[in-house]
Structure 1
Amino acid sequence: MTVVGLLFVAWCVTVGLPTDPILASIWLWVLTIGWNNGRHWTHHLRFLRDWLPVLVFLVLYSYSRGWAYTSTTVPHVYEMLTIDHAIFGVTPTVWLQQHLYDPNHIHPWDVGVSFVYFSHFLTVYIVAAVLWLRNRAAWGAFMRRWMLLTFAGVSTYILWPAAPPWWAAKYGLIEPVARLSSRGFNAIGLHGAGNMLNHAQLGANPVAAMPSLHFAFSLCVAGFFMTRLRKRWIPLLALYPLAMAFTLSYCGEHHVTDMIVGALYVLASFVLVSVGERLWRRRRARRAAGTAASDESRAGTSVDPADGARVEGARVEGVRVDGVRVDGAAVDPDRDAEPVGAGRGEAIDVGPVGRGGADLGSVDGREREATAQRTGGTEPDAGGSTVTAEPEAAGAPVSGPPAARG
């Protein structure tokens, strides 16, 4: 993991931040290989199998820019400006930059917001990779919510394109504001990272303001773990979406209204996926119950032995013949001589049974013979007569325990 971390830092410094979805997925794959470097190579190929649908989805997401924004697109912007002003009395981006932004000096928070903004391109994927490594069921639950959220956001961009605050300032709709999301990287010497982020922003969808997926993704991560971690971690989890909200507003990337709608999209995605998962579990439970009932019905089917039918797969319990149970288990003839559920003198004829095809015939006669051999000669039958057993020759093998002395 140290080697992977050093390689990633070297990549970010020399090449830039991996904001491309394919490149980000490759780095995630390298991360999982570094973490499980002792596993067989087939284990590492499972990552490609599981993540292929996600990668295809991300590629389609990158193409959504061309679907949402063309030369004739007129984005919505007045609606968000009006709502923001109605809530705060001012335009939040303009107010924050007037009080915190200095074009001639870079403050510590300028560096912080650059890292928070960039985390949007990695946090979801790193969380998903860790979940994939540790709990694949949790990974599936997280990815279902995230993919539905992303699909809803992209669909909104296409159907209702909206412009961010920096676009509104560019065309004179609000006071001048600067786009500050990459400014902090230049202050600490990460010029490659800043240039890569600027390049990514140039290729991004300029009408993808409503809803704010930057804020929605951070809230998705925090919300997913709030129900899975202890309560003491909830305040720490809440700091991430709050920091993202400040960053997006201060840097001119999103209106507050965009973030409010993004939060509603997260809530709707979680509710819909939860309902779908609950319905799916019920459906699987009903199918399992139906299968179990069908198996029990087949196992408990009554077969008339008089017809000579073969009992395939059915278990005939409690009948013992010549020291052999019907189901194949050995039986001690001295201890279990009497058939379970059959009185003396009662004939039990079940015909050929099981795959072995053993003929059970009449049980009572053989049972009396075995009893007669143990008792040394006679046993009364049901009619009062006796059955005399022939004495065995000296030294002949005898089935069962020796007769009691005295």
Structure 2
Amino acid sequence: MVFQGIAISPERYAFVLLLGSLLVKKTRNFIFDWTPFLFILISYDFLRELAGNLNSGTHYLEAINFDQKLFQTLPTVTLQEKFFNTSQVVWYDYGAAFLYLLHFILPLGFGFLLWINNRRYFKEFVTGISLLSYSALVTYLLFPAAPPWMAQRDGYIVGVTKILDQVLEVFSTNLDLVTVYHNLNPNPVGAIPSVHTAWPLLIFLFAYRYFKTKALYFLPYVLSVWLAIIYLGEHYVLDVLTGIIYAIVFYVISVEIMHRINWGHLFRQIENKLFNKKLLKTARDDQAL
């Protein structure tokens, strides 16, 4: 994500959350709990680029044919014909782009909310989003799929604009934000499953598990993201449906894993050993002085 020429990446968000942990006096727990999570997110971003470089052949027609058979048209094309103004960017274009660019902020923010309330909840969520993300990476390697804007660019369909680029160009004053964004999003053929679909749904499922009916306030956001990614030309309906399936499957798997294995006890043992060793070493160093 880019704001005023500054790339906002997971480690920068983590620094903000670390400051938050200082306020609630849980810095030690933060370092222990969040280091693996941040490693997973950062390595996911790196491997996503690798997956984009290793793909052997991009799939264009499967998603096109599926959407056309289901709707007798392409929803992306229909939405852009009705709502996209080629002469200017309007308010809902900005809104859709904003929803799209919240992608990395959301898991970290929700994870922090869980963490300050219940570390077990946090670890269940980390398990779910990690399994989902890396399973999606494997899918991108095995089945690299083009989004609608790429299908338009390469001549497979017509009538699709990459609206996100249009929005970023509005803010490109001293810096070419379009180029910066494409460099930060190096795997354009990671469309199936849509992680922009799967992550918000996974967050909603965990939110409902922990916060019950309060989570329903988050549901309009989830549905809005799904609509936005289709309108922006970033995903087909097939991508969204596969993202929904991935989210549900890995939610169930992660909850079962945490239920069957006493991860909380395991994490506490590891944490105590690590920090006790560190304290012991510090004491010995002090004695040596």
Match of 2:68 in 1: 85
Counterpart in the other structure of 1:224: 206
Q: Cα distance, 1:32 vs. partner?
A: 3.1
The AA in structure 2 aligned to 1:105 is Q
- Partner Cα distance (1:192, 1:127) in 2: 33
SS of match in other structure, 1:106: coil
- Identity across aligned pairs (percent)? 26
Which residue is 1:168 aligned to?
151
Distance 1:199 1:30 in 2: 28
Structure 2 counterparts to residues 55-66 of structure 1, below 5 A:
55-66=38-49
Deviations 1:336-384 (A, max 9, x none): xxxxxxxxxxxxxxxxxxxxxxxxxxxxxxxxxxxxxxxxxxxxxxxxx
Please give the alpha-carbon distance, in whole angstroms, between the structure 1 residues aligned to 2:176 and 2:12: 17
Residue 207 of structure 2 aligns to a residue in which SS?
Answer: helix
Can you give the 5+ residue segments of structure 1 that lack an aligned partner in the other structure?
A: 1-11, 285-406
Tell me if the contact between 1:16 and 1:192 (Cα under 8 Å) persists in the aligned partners: no
Cα 1:228/1:46, change in 2 over 3 Å: closer
Per-residue CA deviations over 1:203-234 (Å, capped at 9, x if unaligned) read 42111001000111111111111233343652
Residue of structure 2 in register with 1:145 after alignment: 128
Cα distance, 1:14 vs structure 2: 4.2
My pick for the range that moved more, 195-204 or 244-253, is 195-204
Counterpart in 1 of 2:269? none
Provide the TM-score with structure 2 as the length reference.
0.81
| Structure 1 counterpart of 2:247 | 266
Structure-1 residue corresponding to 2:32: 49
State the one-letter code of the partner of 1:270: Y
Larger relative contact order, structure 1 or 2 (CA cutoff 8 Å, min sep 6): 2
Alignment of 1:214-363 (within 5 A): 214-231=196-213, 233-234=215-216, 236-281=217-262
**How far 1:137 moved relative to its partner?**
1.4
Distance 2:219 2:111 in 1: 19
- Measured after TM superposition, the shift of residue 274 of structure 1 is 2.2
Q: 2:6 aligns with which of 12, 16, 28?
A: 16
> Residue type of the partner of 1:93?
T
Note the C-alpha offset of 1:173: 0.1
- Cα 1:134/1:211, change in 2 over 3 Å: same
For residue 227 of structure 1, give the secondary structure of its aligned residue in structure 2: helix
2:14 corresponds to: 25
CA RMSD of aligned residues (A): 2.6
2:138 maps to what in 1? 155
Q: Tell whether the 8 Å contact from 2:151 to 2:157 is kept in structure 1 after alignment.
A: yes
Residues 16 and 195, structure 1, Cα contact 8 Å, conserved in 2:
no
> Does the aligned pair in 1 maintain the 2:55–2:141 contact within 8 Å?
no
Aligned CA distance change for structure 1 residues 71 and 131 (closer, same or farther; 3 Å): closer
SS of 1:266's partner is: helix
How many residue pairs get matched? 262
| Cα drift, residue 99 of structure 1 | 0.9
Which structure 2 segments of 5+ residues have no match?
A: 266-289
AA at the equivalent of 2:181: A
> Which residue number corresponds to residue 211 of structure 1?
193
- Equivalent position amino acid for 1:269 in 2: F
In structure 2, the CA distance between the partners of 1:14 and 1:109, relative to structure 1 (3 Å rule), is closer
